[in-house]
Structure 1
Amino acid sequence: MATSHSPDDHSEDAAPLGGGSLHQTLPQDLLDQCAREPIRIPGGIQPHGALALLRDQDLVLIQASANLGTVLGRTIAPYDNPTLADVVGNDTTLESDVRRWAAGGDATFLEQYQIDGRIFHITGHRTPQGLILEFEEFDESERGRSASFYQLLRDFLDTSDGLKTIADLSAGVAAEVQALTGFNRVMIYRFDEDWNGTVIAEKGDGTLPSYLDLRFPASDIPAQARDLYRLNRLRLIPTATYTPVPLVPTLCPVDGAPLDLSFAALRSVSPVHLEYMRNMGTTASLSISIVIDGQLWGLISCHHAQPRYVGPQIRAACDFLGRVVAQQVAARERAAEVDERLRLKGIETELVAHLARAAGFQTGLVDCASQWLALTNSAGAAVVTDGIVLAAGRAPPIDSILALSEWVRARNVEQIYATDSLSAEWPPGKDITTMASGVIAIPISRLHASFIFWFRPEVVETVRWGGDPRAAKATDALGRLQPRQSFESWKQVVRARAQPWRSAELLSAVDFRGAIINFVLQRAEERAQLTEELQRSNKELEAFSYSISHDLRAPFRHIAGYAELLGEEEPELKALSRHYLQGIIAAALSAGELVDDLLHFSQLGRTSLKMTRIDMAKVMIEIRRSLDVDQRRQAVEWDIGPLPAAWGDATLVRQALFNLVENAAKYSRGASPPRIKVRGQDRATDVLYSVEDNGVGFDMNYAGKLFQVFQRLHRQEDFEGTGIGLALTKRIIDRHGGTLEAKGAVGQGATFSFTLPKRPTGGNRGLT
């Protein structure tokens, strides 16, 4: 028998468990050996009953356990092809009842019959190899208890509705099964996502040690054994020291294969498991499977220090309890899941409503950080779009988030990626476990590494195992599987794992992805519609501007021409009249210049750029020469520094620089003397040019108006011009992908700076 255990018997600060199941620490050959063990076709049964295989069409006995005659107390010659009537005698209705069952649709058969004065429980089930009947003699010691267990079941059903939590329900059913079966210890054993099992409830009489809250590795119940528990919900082992009863003949005569005993209550179990029981200090066991939605959720595991048999009636009552518990656990889990889904849906609705009013969903998420995090009950979150990261809460560094987004993109995630142990799947994740051991990622683009992330930090947990899980199985000198010897409490510190994501949280993330994609698509449609409308409006405006400009040029020329002719034809005009004529001529010429500038401005949006290398020093020489020719201007002191070459449309760039230099000359003509400084600076990807003057300057509070059409910061009477030059300059620089800035102070001059690319940028740019 195992000794009593203290939680501090053994402990170890083990390496992080990561995202894999602990049983993967076993060598692969042992795992393969577990998988190959023939637990469904053991070739024998346990000796507390007998088994018969009947041909389904005529109920002829074709295979039986070697003890069939001994158990029934009759002489049976299986090789003489006896019928069921020959086996059980004619003083029972068993044969006729089995014939009706075989012709019907029920999967199983369970009745009591008297055979030669003795009462037997007879169960049956169908297989492709024939009809299997199992015989167990009625235990008179159960007769007195059978009347009470119905009352126990009724009492449990009456009280179970009041057990609100799964822990309370588990404790209740453990006590109920212990009262029904009389086993020394009854445990409720729940599987996790890695198929490790934890004892979440226990009822015992003190004979066997307590395993409450201990965890057992998945290798204790291999995958094929778990699948058998799922299919056959009850398994009784009255004694772990039994000798299996073989089947006669060894192979089934129907197909020459071993008889499949998957659904047989008497099926002999693995010798490894029997040794496991003995090592644990238990002689008898009863397992009742808790199956929810076709999946094995857990076990009601009963242990006894001495041999113990419970008959089919009590086992049926336990099976009933197992089904009730499964339904109630499922109902509680579904109710909790529905409540959580409704709560998270409310948060999603509130968040999406806010995003609909936001300029962009990225900034909208940051503005509503609390709802964003609450959507999956996370501690941190981030959104990655076009290489830009916006984060909230406890999120990893930006570089780590960008690297993670590239890694997730490489996995071709379609809807969602989720893990509670990132470092086990992505090694660089070990550097961010304190913030992102748990990760949910939803893609929001098919082309780029654009994701919404939620993060959870690691939860450092001390797990108490029922024995060192690393020594779960071994082999003897002959290479045969051997179960572990010790079940003493063994502690392990688990790191780099976060609280697992619940189904409601994952569904919430998937739903939110749909909302975001719809939001992005809607905004894209709105932008496409707006772009289409803008393009149409621009075309109409350009056509209108061109038409107006073209049609106005002739009338203005006519006005100026007629005014000049009138002055020439009437030399005796009074001085006042001649002044009026000069005003008309000046206004007509000014209006003509305005029309020309408007025409140029409207055409700029339609012309393509002819990109080439530009010698800016040569361009500046031409501009200076053209301005020095104007005798109306005061002599300017020029300070022209080195001007590196640029890349652009030579004609347009010359126009832009000319406008800036001409403005500098115009607004500094009142200075004594006017000074203009022109500089160029070669930088990594572009060239910066500046034009500085010592003129009247401007108030920086109105700098935003400088580059707008018809916006002027000085009176027309003081400084001539149409108010289009700087707007035209900005459009030229924008089309080249550069920037234009202005700095100044009233009475202290102004500086205009612009950038141009140094080399080709891959094609022409449209208006920005």
Structure 2
Amino acid sequence: MNKAINAELLDLSNCAKEPIRTPGSIQPHGFLLALSDELTVLQASANLGDWAGCSAAAVVGGPLAGVIGEDGVQRIVAQLGPELGSHPFYAGTVGIRSKRHFDVLAHRWDRVTYLEFEPVDRAEAADFRHLYPLIGDFLLKVNEAGSIQMLAQQACEHVRAVTGYGRVVAYQFDPDGHGHVMAESLEAGYHAYMGQHFPATDIPAQARELYLLQHIRLIQNADYHPAALVPALNPLTQQPNDLSFAALRSVSPVHLQYMRNMETLASMSVSLIVKGKLWGLISCHNRDPKPVGFEKRTACEQLGQILALCIESREDARELQFRLEVRRIMVAMLAGLTQGSNFIDNLSSVFPDLLRFARAAGAAIVVDDRILLHGDTPGKEEIAALVDWLARSEHGDLYHTDNLSRAWPPAAAMVRNASGLLALPISRIHKHYLLWFRPEYVHTIEWAGNPREKEAADKALHGAPLQLSPRTSFASWRETIHGSSVRWHAGELELALEFRTALLGIVLERAEQMAELAGELGRANKELEAFSYSVSHDLRAPLRHIVGFSDLLLESAGSEDAVQRQRFLKNIKESARLAGKLVDDLLSFSQMGRAALRPTEVDMNDLVNSCIHKLAPETRGRDIEWDVAPLPVVWADPTFLHLALSNLLANAVKFTGQREMARIRISADDHAQETVFHVDDNGAGFNMDYVHKLFGVFQRLHRMEDFQGTGIGLANVRRIVERHGGRVWADSVLGESASFSFALPKHEDEDEADDGAQADNPTKQ
């Protein structure tokens, strides 16, 4: 056999363009018929004459009975029903003119019913009885297996016993798509791949998609000559046939060459699907051509599905245990952070727990120019430069990488102790960060063949790295990986975000204490009291949910009820998100009182249009009538005024949610000393007896279950307007309408405007 790569055969631009779903042909160890709803033959494989004694061209356009006889048609039709789907279904065993007998597989796809005929040595129907001992024996050994690797080993041995293949391996895909052989069953004389890795390029993306659709794939003889479909196009669509679900579908010539390079002439793959994703494969190899009957393939497919369910259950239990342990550390840290009055000193006091929390070797706290270090970390100057880069890059609420030097080249100088980074910003305004560092993890990967060989071979043959060709060597090849750390676990990242939310809550609590010490008077004291209530009620409520459902998860750790665990995790996640939203809104409210105003001329027509456009995702699908009267130009800070107006319009949208037709009007009145704006709606309104509470922090006049919100939006409106020297008020008829108004003073010039902007107390009520 010539194992050299045939450049003419494989001259495709790249794997993504190869038509593996529409090859236009089948493997010739059986034949295929494509039928209309009336059982007229639309297409037949070109090898029909080899099996049925009649040519493909002769039967196209004729009845199915012309190929398999009336008795065969009656037997097949009795098994077909309206529920016939895309996956091959065993429709029985039939004999045809040539006195041969065939197992018939049926499926429907793209408006066509496909019948696939595979030759068998028996006249009777397939016997699936041996499926039950196989599955039963595997299930008995499930509880004995102490690990996923042991389960996979049992599966490999069972599959090899059923199929008679010389080598059966099970491998798992890593996050980069590389396959790691975790179990193997071998016949004497076969090369072992246990513990080795197969590069992701061995299975292109579109092939992985097919493994998700069709969970089993058989290649009986890699040296086959494909049998084309006659005619070549689907007569109903005038497009190439999509054979994604056909058991006989012809496979890529590149893969056939890959098999020959691997000294494998027969192969079978069983997909391991975990939570809707391709977790791995059971892959079977044989040196010589090897048929595997449909009933045996079905047994192997069922075993693969059971193995996938066991993997999911074991991984869920392991993930739950990991998250609970990290959460215990986080709870202990938070308890320590509330002891003293100095937040930064409190953080440094829990440094050992911070390292355990993120499984890190070093940690740093950065507060402006102050940097506190613990463990194995880069120097302060390097960390200061790193924080500057993080602040410029705007990575959001969390940034993580297991190869920092790839994202930020200067980190090459600190690979030893900072190959991995997890960064939490503690402030949206200042350079306040909590950083964790992981050291370089130098490790060796053993590949089944040099993964760089394919690229080199392509360049040699075609002069470009994207030409399509299989690699030719599977000899063990070791690669040492430098510059990376251990990957960050998804649970660590999610809990780090929760920890950030809790830290911000503590910061806000400290801000409240400082405000009380400063002796803020009047309304400020009332706001702080409301804030204190929110921390004890609004914020602690979701945290209680988190603790409660975590306890339930602990109690159910040994349960196999995945649905219940998913519900608990979903409730924990939603509670954490609500707590985060409360904290973010509180930060925004606190910043309203500190940030400097930058007044300028503001066209209120443009501002209103911008706010309405911003609300488009929330109003999609609703019937809202916006009535915007001509509005004047005012002198104000456009950013703050945009936030105030957005809150008012969002309120109007929210409280008209139960109206079939919502009507929202924005208008203005011009007075000698001020300009008054009104936002009117026909929504739920509110009880005027409680109007004095309306603009307070966390003051809600409706139940949370009816209208969700944090109770901070209107408090922000009042603070913004009053910082401009204006006033706010509201009027309503309960159940019918609401009107919110604010007045902005008129100014002669910028100096006068700036003086008014500095006032942080109401001048009118």
The structural deviation recorded for 1:145 is 9.6
Separation of aligned partners in 2, 1:242 and 1:460: 45
Separation of aligned partners in 1, 2:349 and 2:22: 63
Query: Which residue of structure 2 lines up, in the alignment, with residue 274 of structure 1?
Result: 256
| 2:468 corresponds to 1:481 | yes
User: Does the Cα contact within 8 Å between 1:420 and 1:438 map onto a contact in 2?
Assistant: yes
The structural deviation recorded for 1:516 is 1.3
2:28 aligns with one of 30, 47, 66: 47
| 2:30 corresponds to 1:66 | no
Query: Which residue of structure 1 lines up, in the alignment, with residue 70 of structure 2?
Result: 90
The structural deviation recorded for 1:380 is 1.4
| 2:418 corresponds to 1:436 | yes
Aligned partner of 1:443: which letter?
P
1:334 aligns with one of 316, 320, 341: 316
User: Does the Cα contact within 8 Å between 1:72 and 1:115 map onto a contact in 2?
Assistant: no
The structural deviation recorded for 1:299 is 0.8
Aligned partner of 1:271: which letter?
P
Separation of aligned partners in 2, 1:504 and 1:536: 42
Query: Which residue of structure 2 lines up, in the alignment, with residue 235 of structure 1?
Result: 217
User: Does the Cα contact within 8 Å between 2:216 and 2:269 map onto a contact in 1?
Assistant: yes
1:457 aligns with one of 432, 439, 445: 439
Worse-superposed segment, 289-298 or 519-528: 519-528
Worse-superposed segment, 446-455 or 341-350: 446-455
Query: Which residue of structure 2 lines up, in the alignment, with residue 522 of structure 1?
Result: 509
TM-score under structure 2 length normalisation: 0.63
What is the identity percentage for the equivalent residue pairs of Structure 1 and Structure 2? 42
Q: Flag structure 1 segments of 5+ consecutive residues without an equivalent.
A: 4-28, 539-768
The structural deviation recorded for 1:320 is 0.7
Separation of aligned partners in 1, 2:354 and 2:11: 46
Separation of aligned partners in 1, 2:12 and 2:499: 41
Worse-superposed segment, 139-148 or 210-219: 139-148
Query: Which residue of structure 2 lines up, in the alignment, with residue 175 of structure 1?
Result: 157
Separation of aligned partners in 2, 1:141 and 1:196: 44
Aligned partner of 2:476: which letter?
S
1:165-204 alignment runs, 5 A limit: 165-204=147-186
The structural deviation recorded for 1:188 is 1.0
Deviation track 1:703-756 (CA, whole Å, cap 9, x = no partner) reads: xxxxxxxxxxxxxxxxxxxxxxxxxxxxxxxxxxxxxxxxxxxxxxxxxxxxxx
Query: Which residue of structure 2 lines up, in the alignment, with residue 748 of structure 1?
Result: none
Aligned partner of 1:62: which letter?
L
Worse-superposed segment, 306-315 or 206-215: 206-215
User: Does the Cα contact within 8 Å between 1:2 and 1:281 map onto a contact in 2?
Assistant: no
User: Does the Cα contact within 8 Å between 2:127 and 2:295 map onto a contact in 1?
Assistant: no
The structural deviation recorded for 1:534 is 7.1
Separation of aligned partners in 2, 1:301 and 1:283: 13
Aligned partner of 1:123: which letter?
L
2:351 aligns with one of 369, 373, 384: 369
| 2:477 corresponds to 1:497 | no
User: Does the Cα contact within 8 Å between 2:85 and 2:109 map onto a contact in 1?
Assistant: no
The structural deviation recorded for 1:175 is 1.3
Separation of aligned partners in 2, 1:458 and 1:224: 34
Separation of aligned partners in 2, 1:255 and 1:80: 16
The structural deviation recorded for 1:144 is 11
Separation of aligned partners in 2, 1:326 and 1:338: 18
User: Does the Cα contact within 8 Å between 2:110 and 2:242 map onto a contact in 1?
Assistant: no
User: Does the Cα contact within 8 Å between 2:101 and 2:122 map onto a contact in 1?
Assistant: no
Separation of aligned partners in 1, 2:373 and 2:265: 58
SS at match of 1:267: coil
1:535-550 alignment runs, 5 A limit: none
Query: Which residue of structure 2 lines up, in the alignment, with residue 506 of structure 1?
Result: 493
The structural deviation recorded for 1:142 is 13
Separation of aligned partners in 1, 2:358 and 2:13: 39
1:128 aligns with one of 110, 114, 128: 110
Separation of aligned partners in 1, 2:421 and 2:123: 57
SS at match of 1:260: coil
User: Does the Cα contact within 8 Å between 1:129 and 1:259 map onto a contact in 2?
Assistant: no
User: Does the Cα contact within 8 Å between 1:195 and 1:218 map onto a contact in 2?
Assistant: yes
User: Does the Cα contact within 8 Å between 1:61 and 1:78 map onto a contact in 2?
Assistant: no
2:95 aligns with one of 94, 115, 124: 115
SS at match of 1:357: coil
SS at match of 2:194: coil
Query: Which residue of structure 1 lines up, in the alignment, with residue 245 of structure 2?
Result: 263
SS at match of 1:91: helix
Distance change in 2, residues 1:142/1:492 (3 Å): farther
Distance change in 2, residues 1:410/1:537 (3 Å): closer
SS at match of 2:250: coil
2:306 aligns with one of 324, 327, 345: 324
| 2:236 corresponds to 1:254 | yes
1:157-168 alignment runs, 5 A limit: 157-168=139-150
User: Does the Cα contact within 8 Å between 2:92 and 2:125 map onto a contact in 1?
Assistant: no
| 2:374 corresponds to 1:392 | yes
The structural deviation recorded for 1:152 is 2.5
Separation of aligned partners in 1, 2:330 and 2:205: 39
Separation of aligned partners in 1, 2:431 and 2:124: 68
The structural deviation recorded for 1:254 is 1.5
Aligned partner of 1:305: which letter?
R
User: Does the Cα contact within 8 Å between 2:86 and 2:108 map onto a contact in 1?
Assistant: no
Separation of aligned partners in 2, 1:534 and 1:31: 77
User: Does the Cα contact within 8 Å between 2:419 and 2:437 map onto a contact in 1?
Assistant: yes
The structural deviation recorded for 1:79 is 6.0
The structural deviation recorded for 1:340 is 0.7
Separation of aligned partners in 1, 2:337 and 2:68: 77
SS at match of 2:192: coil
Deviation track 1:102-130 (CA, whole Å, cap 9, x = no partner) reads: 5x678552232223365432222222242
Deviation track 1:276-317 (CA, whole Å, cap 9, x = no partner) reads: 111111111111111111111111111111111111111111
Deviation track 1:108-164 (CA, whole Å, cap 9, x = no partner) reads: 522322233654322222222422222212255999996545323211111112212
The structural deviation recorded for 1:387 is 3.0
Distance change in 2, residues 1:198/1:537 (3 Å): closer
| 2:501 corresponds to 1:533 | no
Which has the higher relative contact order, 1 or 2, with Cα contacts under 8 A spaced 6 or more apart? Answer: 1
Query: Which residue of structure 2 lines up, in the alignment, with residue 383 of structure 1?
Result: 365
Aligned partner of 2:387: which letter?
S
Aligned partner of 2:491: which letter?
A
Aligned partner of 2:423: which letter?
A
The total of aligned residue pairs comes to 513
TM-score under structure 1 length normalisation: 0.62
Query: Which residue of structure 2 lines up, in the alignment, with residue 699 of structure 1?
Result: none
The structural deviation recorded for 1:77 is 5.0
User: Does the Cα contact within 8 Å between 2:12 and 2:18 map onto a contact in 1?
Assistant: no
Aligned partner of 2:444: which letter?
T
User: Does the Cα contact within 8 Å between 2:43 and 2:230 map onto a contact in 1?
Assistant: yes
User: Does the Cα contact within 8 Å between 1:112 and 1:121 map onto a contact in 2?
Assistant: yes
Separation of aligned partners in 2, 1:482 and 1:490: 20
Aligned partner of 1:338: which letter?
L
Separation of aligned partners in 2, 1:140 and 1:441: 66
Distance change in 2, residues 1:355/1:478 (3 Å): closer
SS at match of 1:132: strand
Separation of aligned partners in 2, 1:516 and 1:174: 49
2:81 aligns with one of 86, 89, 100: 100
1:523-602 alignment runs, 5 A limit: 523-533=510-520
Distance change in 2, residues 1:231/1:450 (3 Å): farther
SS at match of 1:415: coil
Separation of aligned partners in 2, 1:498 and 1:142: 59
SS at match of 1:533: coil
SS at match of 1:89: helix
Query: Which residue of structure 2 lines up, in the alignment, with residue 408 of structure 1?
Result: 390
Distance change in 2, residues 1:272/1:77 (3 Å): closer
The structural deviation recorded for 1:536 is 10
SS at match of 2:358: coil
Worse-superposed segment, 189-198 or 386-395: 386-395
